[in-house]
Structure 1
Amino acid sequence: MNRPSAARSPRTALLLRALPGLLLVACAAGAGAGGQPGTPPVTTPPAAGATRQARLHAARSWGYQLTNYIPARLGPVGASSFDLVVVDAGDDNGAPWPPAEVHAAAARTGQNDRVMLGYLSIGAAESYRPYWQDTWKTSPPAWLLQEDPDWPGSFNVAYWHPDWQATVLRSLDRLMDSGFDGVYMDLVDAYYRNPQHPAAREDMITWVCRIAAHAHARDPDFLIVPQNASELIRDPRYVPCVDALGNEETFMYAMNTPTEPERQTQLLADYAQWKARGKPVFTIEYADREPLITQLYARARAAGLVPYVTVRNVDVLTPGR
C-alpha cells in the first residue's frame, strides 16, 4: 500500500508546542559551536575515504524526503549537492531500497560520499508499514495504543514493550541491509504522550540505547540520529548512544508561522549542550515564502546549526541554500 502523502514527522513539534512547564535555560539566540555568540563551526574537509563520523561532522547541508519517490526514486538525491540526506527506509510501496540504489545515491564524483540516513519511527506504529497486520484492527497487540487523531493511520505505542521493540529492531535490520550509513529515528519524544507511565522518559533513553547497541553489534560505525527530544542530551546515559540531533521547528512552525521566543531559547540551550559534546545539530523548518526561507537559513547558520527548509509534507527534496 502506498504511504499517505503527508509525512509523519511534523506532528511531534505540534505536541511540543503545547507542553507545559518546559525548563527554559537562557541561551543567546546567536550561539554557535562551543556556545560562542555568532561563531560558525570551524571544520576541515574530511580526507578521501573518510569515516561516517568524519563525513557526518563535515556535513554543512542536508535534505529530507519521506514520500513521493515515484517515478524518480532516489535519483534526485544523487543529483543533489547535499552532504547528508534522510529518506524513508523503503520506497513508496514499502519495499526496502536495494543496496545498489542507496550506494548510487550516496556517491559523489571527486568527493566523499554523502551520508545516507534511513528514517524509522520508534515511538509510533503506522498502518502502512510492512509489519502491520490487518488483524490488529480487531485484536490489537498489547503494545498498540490509540490512533493519533491528527495523523490517521499512526498509532501511539507502549514503546517499552518487548514485542514492539522486536518489531522495530527487525525494521532496523532491513534498513541496515539496504546499506544506509545510519538511522534517523522519529517519535523519540513519545515519552511526552505517556504521562500515565512513570518511567516513560527513562524507558525512551533505554530504548534508544538498545537500538544503538543492536546496530553497533552488526556495524560499530553505524550512525544513530534521533529527531527532536533535544533535552535528553542532558542525561549522561543518552550521550554515548547518539551521534547527532535532528530537530524540527526551531524558528518556524509549519507553515510560515514564527515559533515563540521561549521555545527558541529552550531549543538553542539544548543545542549548545549537543555541540559541547561534539554532536552536530541538523534543523528543519517548514516554510515556502521568501524572504522567510533565506532568513531561516541565515539565522540557523549564525547559531552554528545545519539547516534545511522545506514543505510540511516532506514529499520533495527541496533545493538547499
Structure 2
Amino acid sequence: SYITLDTAQSYRFYWKDEWNTTLPDFIIDKKSNNSDYNVKYWEEAWKNILYKGKDNYVEKLLSLGFDGIDLIVSKEKNLQSGEIDTRQKMIDLITEVAVEIKKINPHAQVYLHNKIDLAEEERVLNVIDGVVKESLLFSDGVKRPENEIKKDIDILDKVVKAKKIVLVSESISQKNEIKEFCTFTAIRRYIPHIEKGDDIENVKKGCS
C-alpha cells in the first residue's frame, strides 16, 4: 500500500465533511486534481493523521495486513512559501513515518516512491528498504534525455550500493523497449516492473 506524504485526498478516511467548505489550516490549497490538496506536511495536525494520532493512517494500513508501504512524495511542486526549509521538513517526515512503521511491524518494508533524490540523504537511506522509480528510461512512450537518465541512475546506483532495493517501473509495450529495459535493469541490479496498459491483466511483474 502507499501513503502520499505531502498531499491530502478528499476520498480518504480522515477527510471531514466540514473541510469541503472550510479547509483546515494545515491544508494550503487544491491541486489540479479535484480530490488532491497541498498540505503543510511539517505541521502536527497532518502528522497526527499520518502516524501520531489515534487511528492514524500508518496503523490502519498495517492493521489490514499490508507488509509494505510506499512513501510517496508528489512530483508536483508544493505551493509553499516563507522561510521554512521544506526539503528538510520532508526528510524529517520520511524518517519519522518510516521509524513508526518499523516500530509497529519490524518486518514491514518501507519504500521511497518518486522523489528518489531524497534517498541521497543518509537519514532517509538508513530508514528505508528501497526506492521505487517510475519512467526511468521512457516517458509517455518517448526515450528520456540521456542527462536526465544518468542523473537518476547515479542516485539509484548509490541505493543499490547501500544494499537497498531499487524497483523500476516502466509503461512500455514495444518489444525493443522491453528488451532494452530488461537488459538495462539486469545489468544494474534493479528489479524491473512493466506495465503494458491500464488493464490490470496487462501488468507484467517482471522480465522473465
**TM-score using structure 2 length:** 0.87
Report whether the alignment pairs 1:163 with 2:45.
Answer: yes
Give, in whole Å, the separation in 2 of the partners of 1:298 and 1:193.
36
CA shift for structure 1 position 220 = 2.2
Given that 1:188 and 1:204 are in contact with CA atoms closer than 8 Å, whether structure 2 keeps it comes out as no
Q: Deviations over 1:73-119 (max 9, x none)?
A: xxxxxxxxxxxxxxxxxxxxxxxxxxxxxxxxxxxxxxxxxxxxx12
Using a 3 Å threshold, how does the CA distance of structure 1 residues 133 and 195 change in structure 2: closer, same or farther? closer
**1:259 alignment partner in structure 2:** 144
Please identify which structure carries the higher helix content.
Answer: 2
Give, in whole Å, the separation in 2 of the partners of 1:297 and 1:195.
39
CA shift for structure 1 position 303 = 2.3
* Equivalences for residues 230-241 of structure 1 within 5 A: 230-241=116-127
Secondary structure, counterpart of 1:238 in structure 2:
helix
Q: Deviations over 1:194-224 (max 9, x none)?
A: 5625311100111011112212222222221
Using a 3 Å threshold, how does the CA distance of structure 1 residues 148 and 188 change in structure 2: closer, same or farther? closer
**1:143 alignment partner in structure 2:** 26
The alignment's C-alpha RMSD in Å is: 2.0
Given that 2:98 and 2:110 are in contact with CA atoms closer than 8 Å, whether structure 1 keeps it comes out as yes
**2:128 alignment partner in structure 1:** 242
Using a 3 Å threshold, how does the CA distance of structure 1 residues 308 and 247 change in structure 2: closer, same or farther? same
Given that 2:196 and 2:204 are in contact with CA atoms closer than 8 Å, whether structure 1 keeps it comes out as no
Secondary structure, counterpart of 1:278 in structure 2:
coil
* Equivalences for residues 92-241 of structure 1 within 5 A: 118-149=1-32, 151-169=33-51, 170-187=56-73, 192-194=77-79, 196-197=81-82, 198-241=84-127
Given that 2:112 and 2:119 are in contact with CA atoms closer than 8 Å, whether structure 1 keeps it comes out as no
| Residue identity matched to 1:173 | E
CA shift for structure 1 position 257 = 1.8
What are the ranges of 5 or more consecutive residues in structure 1 without an aligned counterpart?
Answer: 1-117
CA shift for structure 1 position 289 = 3.2
Given that 2:138 and 2:144 are in contact with CA atoms closer than 8 Å, whether structure 1 keeps it comes out as yes
| Residue identity matched to 2:178 | I
Aligned with 1:295 (options 166, 173, 180): 180
CA shift for structure 1 position 295 = 2.5
**TM-score using structure 1 length:** 0.58
Given that 2:7 and 2:74 are in contact with CA atoms closer than 8 Å, whether structure 1 keeps it comes out as no
CA shift for structure 1 position 292 = 2.1
Q: Identify which of structures 1 and 2 has the higher relative contact order when contacts are C-alpha pairs closer than 8 Å and 6+ apart.
A: 1
Give, in whole Å, the separation in 2 of the partners of 1:130 and 1:210.
21
Using a 3 Å threshold, how does the CA distance of structure 1 residues 146 and 295 change in structure 2: closer, same or farther? same
Give, in whole Å, the separation in 2 of the partners of 1:311 and 1:128.
27
Using a 3 Å threshold, how does the CA distance of structure 1 residues 310 and 240 change in structure 2: closer, same or farther? same
| Aligned residue pair count | 200
Give, in whole Å, the separation in 1 of the partners of 2:88 and 2:3.
20
Give, in whole Å, the separation in 2 of the partners of 1:147 and 1:222.
32
Give, in whole Å, the separation in 2 of the partners of 1:140 and 1:250.
36
Given that 1:297 and 1:309 are in contact with CA atoms closer than 8 Å, whether structure 2 keeps it comes out as no
Please identify which structure carries the higher strand content.
Answer: 2
Secondary structure, counterpart of 1:307 in structure 2:
strand
CA shift for structure 1 position 225 = 0.7
